[in-house]
Amino acid sequence: MKNIFIILIACVGLSGCAAAQNTTSTSVKTDSIAEKMLVYQLSNGGWPKQLEDKSVVKYEYPLTESLLQKIKATSALHATIDNNATSREINALVLAYKQTANKAYLQAAEKGVDYLLKAQYANGGWPQYYPDKSSYRAEITYNDNAMINALTVMLNIVYQINGFEVINTSYLPKAEKALKKGIECILKTQVFQNGKPVIWAAQYDENTLKPAKARAFEPASLSTGESVGIVRFLMKLKSPSTEIKTAIKNAVDWFDNTKIVGYKYGNIANNDKGLIADAEAISWARFYDLSTNKPIFGDRDNSIKSSVEEISKERRVGYAWYGTFAQNLLAKEYPKWLKSNGG
């Protein structure tokens, strides 16, 4: 007892009194990354992708006094689901709890789930940021799989998979409702062309559910990468309805009909990028016109061009304008799904 008292005296004023904690709580296992996630978690339960000074959140960085001050200065307005933020931490903390039985990790994960539940719109969509509604942050965001990541957390809770069986059972009905609403939003936002559903845009107006633009070079358009993520999510659903099956099939048909055979996007002369002939390549543009299915390309001046050569070099080399987005979906994943779902 005397030794513990001395340690307590010695650590007065130190953050967390780590020495005393190590002496009195040796039975509590910890995970170094999970410990940092606890520090970064915002008061509303979400996590930032950037701190107040716009520095990127990276858990490999040591928690120096300077960094701790930056974290402390970051308000809850920075909570987001962009760039895997919040879903990444929830997933990691659930697994860390399973490995350590440290209740602090589970509590933080559940607080993160609370944040996601609160951030979801009544129409089932998720904004890129919550509660910050400035600029395009309030739009329903499929971009970079933001909404799909949030929905996957709900699916994991409902299906009790990927470690989420440890989440308190009181979350089950909440997650079931959020999952149902999210799926309904996905089906409502599938773009129609001439009466037929095709794929999805990257973001939507949160009130009208119409495709919307984000950054200057990200016009309202059909978005291939995000749509592949949506289809993959829908294919995870058990006993899919006819409506879900139809949504998947129509999206896959669109990808099959629009694939670009014999070209890939890569480095060319003068440190530039463009389409390169490659007999084995199958590609898709990043964005397509909502009605004509022609590739479109945005620049920082809000202009929209019909070819990648027309945009500034900075944008040509700094953005993935083409990719193999749906290649595995068409070749492997969809055929496998069809076999299991009565193709």
Task: Give the model confidence (pLDDT) of 247-280 as tens digits.
Answer: 999 999 999 999 999 999 999 999 999 999 999 9
Strands (E), the chain: 140-141, 192-193, 196-197, 203-204, 222-223, 260-268, 272-285, 287-288, 297-298, 304-305, 322-323
CA dihedral 104, 105, 111, 117 (to 10 degrees): -160
Is the pLDDT confidence value at 134 over 50? yes
User: Has residue 24 got a pLDDT over 50?
Assistant: no
**Mean pLDDT of the chain, nearest integer:** 92
pLDDT at 174 over 50: yes
Q: Is the pLDDT of residue 6 over 70?
A: no
Instruction: Give Cβ neighbours of residue 9 (< 8 Å, ≥ 6 apart).
Output: none
83 is catalytic: yes
In angstroms, the first-to-last Cα distance of the chain is 70
Which domains does the chain show, CATH number per domain?
30-189 (1.50.10.20), 191-343 (1.50.10.20)
Whether residue 4 is predicted with pLDDT greater than 90 in this model: the reply is no
Between β-strands 272-285 and 260-268, what pairing exists: parallel, antiparallel or unpaired?
antiparallel
pLDDT of residue 342: 72
Tens digits of residue pLDDT in 303-324? 999 999 999 999 999 999 999 9
> Which of the residues 44, 83, 102, 145 is marked catalytic?
83
204 closest CA partner among 295, 126, 288: 126
pLDDT at 23: 40
Q: Say if residue 121's pLDDT is above 70.
A: yes
pLDDT at site 343: 57
Rounded to 10 deg, the angle between the 87-100 and 32-40 helix axes is 140
What count of Cα atoms within 13 Å lies in the side-chain half-sphere of residue 156? 22
DSSP string, 65-94: HHHHHHHHT--GGGBB-GGGTTHHHHHHHH
Supply the pLDDT for residue 27.
80
Catalytically annotated residue among 215, 267, 300, 302: 215
On the 0-12 / 13-18 / 19+ scale of CB atoms within 10 A, 238 is: exposed
Q: To the nearest whole percent, how much of the chain has pLDDT over 90?
A: 91
> Is pLDDT above 70 for 113?
yes
CB 168 within 8 A of CB 111: no
Given a cut of 70, whether residue 16 has pLDDT beyond it is: no
Is 215 annotated as catalytic?
A: yes
Distance CA 37, CA 33 (A): 6
pLDDT value of position 131 = 98
- At 60 the pLDDT is 96
Q: Cα(135)–Cα(216) distance, rounded to whole angstroms? A: 12
245 has a pLDDT exceeding 50:
yes
pLDDT at 17 over 70: no
Report pLDDT for 9: 31
